[in-house]
Each structure stands twice: as C-alpha cells, then as structure tokens.
Amino acid sequence: MLTRSLFLKLLSAVIVFGAWQIAGMIPVSYAFPTFMESMDALARMTFDGSLFVAYGETLKPLVVGIAISAVLGISIGLWIGLSQLFDWAFSPIFIVMQAAPLAALIPLLVMAYGIGLTSKVFVVCIMAMPVIVLNTSGAVRNTPESFKEMGASFMADRRQIILKIILPAASPIIFSGLRLGVSAGFIGAILSELKITPTGVGDIITYSRSIADYPSMYAAIFSIIVLAVLFLNLLEMLENYLFEGNNRGYASD
C-alpha cells in the first residue's frame, strides 16, 4: 500500500520531469530551459550557498505570515462558525479579501507600511488567511448535530464541546484550508518579492531573468515548489498524528 503510493508518486514525477525535459529540448520557447539544465543551475546555487542566503530572506515573511494566518485564521474562523453575529460581521471581509486582486492592493500596502518586512507579511496573510478562515468557519458550523448532542448528554460543558468535539470534527476541513492557505502563502511570499522589493528567491528570479539566465530562474521556481510540497507533506503528517481516525472516513457514512 505504502510502496504502491510511493511508486505512483515517483511515476508521476518522472512523467512531469520527462515532459519538461522534452519541452525544453524542442524547445517550446528559447526562454524555457530543459529539466537537466535547470537541475544543474539548482545544484550550482545550492553548493555556492546563494540559495540558502535567498531562502533566509524569503522564509522570514513566509513563516511569520503563515504562522499569523494559521493562528488568527483558525481562531477567527472558530468564532465566525460559533456565532451568527460574528458570521454576519466578519465573513464578508474574508470573502472580499479572497476575491480581491492582490496586485492592485500592493501599492496601497507599500504606502501604508513601507517596503519592509511588514508589507510582505501582509501580502502573505492576505493570500493565506481568507481560505483558512472560511474553511474553519464552514466546518465548525457543519459539525454534526448528533456529536454535539452526544457531548451534551454526557454533560460536556461549552469548552469541552469546542475542544473535544467541534475542533476535531472540523479538523479535516480546517487542515485542507491550511493546505490551501500555505500554498497561497507561498505564492504571496514570492509575489511580494517580485512586486515590492526584490529580495531572496524573488530576487534570483528577477535577476536571472534580466540577464537571460533561464535555468537559474526555473531552478528558483522549482525549489519553491519543492519546498511547498515538503511543507504540505509535513502538515499532513501533523494532521495524521493529531487525528488518526479522521483520514480513514467517518463512521457515520
């Protein structure tokens, strides 16, 4: 079972990279390097340390932004899910935030918070938070009534119902919101480095494009994707550790 899913993952990787290699060899565009060229550039940047320096910059707004989005997003989502009044007052903000064209907001953020870390953290949060909030509130609202009733019949107080029933029951959807939020946060972090000030990985992308070093540019993009996938897997492991039975289906199905 495990080896089979690993095999499938490897297979899909081989197919994607193979297609990339072929597309680069044709080439579909002179600005599109082959997979091997990009890997060469990635190895070079890894060994001369420039990749690590770049990530030192990029990870700052990313980690801070995602941490804020996760903690604040889940708390706000919980509130919205538990209270009609909160739902009425705050849900629209996050729906608008999710739909807002971020690129158009960036100049406003820069005007308000400058070009430093704060603006970049904001960009990450604007990208990551809405989906976390909306998923959490939806899941909390949809907690099966029978679970809550069961808790009440065994004399759970409000706090126990939230901690021992509502949150675990909502956790699969909260985690899927977190996964989407983290992915969006990665996009936000790179976007902020491209649109606000070129630092970190965004700088590698901008700079190597300006000198037509496309392998390096694609290597940087590739590394971001790998990092995002690693992070998402980590999140999945955390979820499995915390709520073992959840990913194996609901008993009431």
**Residue 141 or 148: which CB sits closer to other proteins?**
148
Q: Of 83-91, 122-130, 148-156, 188-196, which part binds other proteins (CB under 8 A)?
A: 148-156
Size of the site for other proteins (CB under 8 A): 26
Exactly one of 2, 111, 155, 211 binds other proteins (CB under 8 A); which one? Answer: 155
Q: Exactly one of 17, 86, 113, 147 binds other proteins (CB under 8 A); which one?
A: 147
CA nearest neighbour of 123 among 142, 98, 105: 105
Closest separation in Å from C-beta 39 to other proteins: 41
Binding string, residues 170-189; x marks residues near other proteins by CB under 8 A: -x------------------
Q: Judged by CB under 8 A, does residue 251 bind other proteins?
A: yes
Side-chain-side CA neighbours of residue 39 (13 Å):
8
Residue entry with tokens 């029951």: 169
Among 24, 65, 73, 151, binds other proteins (CB under 8 A): 151
Stretch that binds other proteins, among 8-16, 166-174, 180-188, 211-219 (CB under 8 A): 166-174
Query: Among residues 97, 41, 92, which one has the least CA distance to residue 69?
Result: 97
| Helices within 114-213 (DSSP H only) | 117-141, 145-153, 158-160, 167-195, 200-210
Q: Is 114 left (phi over 0), alpha (psi -120 to 50) or beta?
A: left
* 235 contributes a contact to other proteins by CB under 8 A: no
Query: Quick check: bond before 33 cis, omega within 30?
Result: no
Residues 69, 185 contacting (CB under 8 angstroms): yes
Residues engaged in binding other proteins (CB under 8 A):
146-147, 149-156, 160, 164-165, 168-169, 171, 243-246, 248-253
